[in-house]
Structure 1
Amino acid sequence: MRPQLPVVTSRADRSPRLEVLLVLALSLGQSAVYSLVSFLDKLTRAPLGEQTTSLNNSLSTRPYLDLTYQLLDILFALVPVVLSLYFLRLTLGRTVHDIGFDLRRPFRDLLMGAALFLAMGLGTLGLYAAGRALGITTALHAANLAEYWWSIPVLLLSAARHAILEEVIMLAFLGAYRRFFGLSTMAVIVVSALVRGSYHLYQGVGPFLGNFVMGLVFGWIYQRYGRVMPLVIAHFLLDAVGFVGFMLIGPAIGIGN
């Protein structure tokens, strides 16, 4: 007879702190570490204001291979989100409805998301311009795909990927697990904002500060209303306009220079 292996099913037998570390190590925590190393590399290479940061780059010179790589990159980047939702359900008994990651209030979520997009968008542009003027922010080229029929849809999917990944993990997941680290509501908002800023540090000091402030605002709103979907919408709109806008008109009007 084969020996019976022990099966762990009790929530008390799990390690919530390890779950957080695993999710972060597979996603935004990993990005923060690489971003810090990239920032140090740029600081020791040349003045930040003379350097360029490129996003959404082509991954192959052959169009359909490039499309395949882009879609795979987006798909696998969302796996940590699925893992975080799985842990939330398994360990805390919380569902997507509990964190407001659903479509139950589409009009209210869209309205709040659009308002946040307008407010944060103006602030982001202002900080980027100030950073460029002070020489502490690199020139940002937000979309570097070749002009294929699928380029704009892929940029929109990329914007959705960033929005879902960052808001679900940084706000809903970390917020739900804060008590296992002994963090108050304000403390988890600040920690989340610092992590958010750190994985944008490779773009320069301006984007770090801008995303830190954005993290504070988004974190307060999530803790106040308990719904992550408006913040996902706002983040998607910010990235979608930035990515697609740069591709369509950025180089022509000097954005990123």
Structure 2
Amino acid sequence: MRRQHLTETWLVLGVSLGASAIWSLLRIVDKLTRPAPLGSQTTSMNSSVTPDRPWLDLVYQLTGVALALVPVLLALHLLRRDDPDEPHTMGFDLRRPGQDLVRGAVLAAVIGLPGLALYAAAKALDLNTTIAAANLASAWWTIPVLILAAAQNAVLEEVIMVGYLFKRWGQAGWGRWQIILTSAVIRGTYHLYQGFGGFVGNIAMGIVFGWWYTRSKRVMPLVVAHTILDVVAFVGYALLRDRLSWL
């Protein structure tokens, strides 16, 4: 059973965030082997596919959001075979909305402010690229789609990297800190395409989130916190990039 649980987790990661980690490693190698230092390179996120045809671009963006959530459905399906009460067991539900919102906002503040300082320091030291967090063409749906993208990232990462993996690795006999640190390193690795600031910052985020989850057994505050962080990054960049030269 232990081997079966571990095999299952690597397969789920292989069709989701584990694959992202491999692509991220290739992207950082590409960036490190360019003549320009990391600090002078730009990493673009949330980009338009067909900026000249906004209606088609919207379909592309919504399709991307929907397909990115399929691994979440897969992970929940696999867990429900053993525990019919999932996703409630991991706390991925709306049973405590007020408490989850407050705790999520606190976690976002704890992670967000030091994370911004780390990003600035890493960029100044040529250890991180400039993050262009939102590059959608201007349309009536731009901000709603960025918010959806933020929520999708949060659900994908927290349900799989915390709710699912912590359950399966625990069933495989791993210790608490082995689980927390392994999950955090994978989280950092699939953000490595941004540079080493993104790598270290997301490892720290993974450790804090993992520790919190082992105490609270609720993944929803993590989803809330992650959504807040990404909404601030994506929407904030979209609204301020033409006003603040340092973005």
Deviation of 1:92 after TM superposition, in Å, equals: 4.7
Is the contact made by 2:5 and 2:172 (CA closer than 8 Å) also made in structure 1? no
Q: Work out whether residues 114 and 233 of structure 1, in 8 Å CA contact, stay in contact via their aligned partners in 2.
A: yes
Which residue pairs with 2:134 in the alignment? 143
Q: In the alignment, what sits opposite 2:152?
A: 161
Any residues of structure 2 matched to 1:63-74 within 5 Å, and which?
63-74=54-65
> Which residue is equivalent to 1:17?
6
What residue is the counterpart of 2:98 in the other structure? 107
Whether 1:212 and 2:211 are equivalent positions in the alignment is no
Whether the 8 Å contact between 1:16 and 1:91 is mirrored in structure 2 is no
Find the residue that maps to 1:67 and give its secondary structure: helix
* Cα deviations by residue, 1:60-116 (Å, 9 ceiling, x for unpaired): 131000000000000000000000000111145551110000000000000000111
State whether structure 2 residue 236 is matched by structure 1 residue 238. no
Per the alignment, residue 196 of structure 1 pairs with 187
- Give the secondary-structure state (helix, strand or coil) at the position aligned to 2:243: helix
- For structure 1, list consecutive stretches of 5 or more residues without a partner in the other structure: 1-11
CA deviation digits over 1:179-230, x for unaligned, max 9? 3543101110000000000000000000100000000000000011000000
Q: Is residue 2:46 matched to residue 1:56?
A: yes
TM-score by length of 2: 0.96
Residue 33 (structure 1) aligned with residue 8 (structure 2): no
Q: Does residue 1:174 correspond to 2:174, yes or no?
A: no
Q: Please give the alpha-carbon distance, in whole angstroms, between the structure 2 residues aligned to 1:149 and 1:254.
A: 25
CA separation in 2, counterparts of 1:136 and 1:250? Answer: 22
Taking the aligned partners of 2:102 and 2:5, their CA distance within structure 1 comes to 35
| Bigger Rg, structure 1 or 2 | 1
Aligned to 2:243: 252
Between the aligned partners of 1:86 and 1:152, the Cα distance in structure 2 is 31
Could you tell me how far apart the structure 1 residues matched to 2:93 and 2:27 are?
36
Whichever residue aligns with residue 16 of structure 1, its letter is: H
What is the CA–CA distance in structure 2 between the aligned matches of 1:34 and 1:63, rounded to whole Å? 28
**Alignment TM-score, normalising by the size of structure 1:** 0.92
The one-letter code sitting in structure 2 at the alignment partner of 1:171 is V
Runs of 4 or more, structure 1, over 3 Å off, are: 91-94, 179-182
SS where residue 104 of structure 2 aligns? helix
Aligned-residue CA RMSD (Å):
1.3
Is the 1:99–1:226 Cα contact (8 Å) retained in structure 2? yes
On the 8 A contact 1:59/1:69 being kept in 2, the answer is yes
Matched, 1:131 2:122: yes
Gaps of 5+ in 2: none
Q: Which amino acid is the alignment partner of residue 160 of structure 1? A: A
Cα–Cα, structure 1 residues 138 and 155, in superposed 2: closer, same or farther, change >3 Å? same
- The DSSP-based 3-state class of the residue aligned with 2:43 is strand
214-223 vs 175-184, which moves further = 175-184
- 1:67 & 1:94 partners in 2: Cα distance? 35
Report the secondary structure of 2:65's partner residue: helix
Q: Are residues 255 and 75 of structure 1, via their aligned partners in 2, closer, same or farther at CA, if it must alter by over 3 Å?
A: farther
Query: What's the offset of the Cα at 1:119?
Result: 1.5
> Structure 1 counterpart of 2:154, which letter?
A
Q: For each residue in 1:43-62, what CA deviation from the matched residue of structure 2 results, as whole angstroms up to 9, or x when unmatched?
A: 00131111100000001131
Q: How many residues align?
A: 244
Residues 5-63 of structure 1: per-residue CA shift (max 9 Å, x gap)? xxxxxxx7x93223212210111000000000000010001311111000000011310
- Give the percent of matched residue pairs that are identical in Structure 1 and Structure 2: 52
Q: Are the counterparts in 2 of residues 48 and 136 from structure 1 also a CA contact under 8 Å?
A: yes
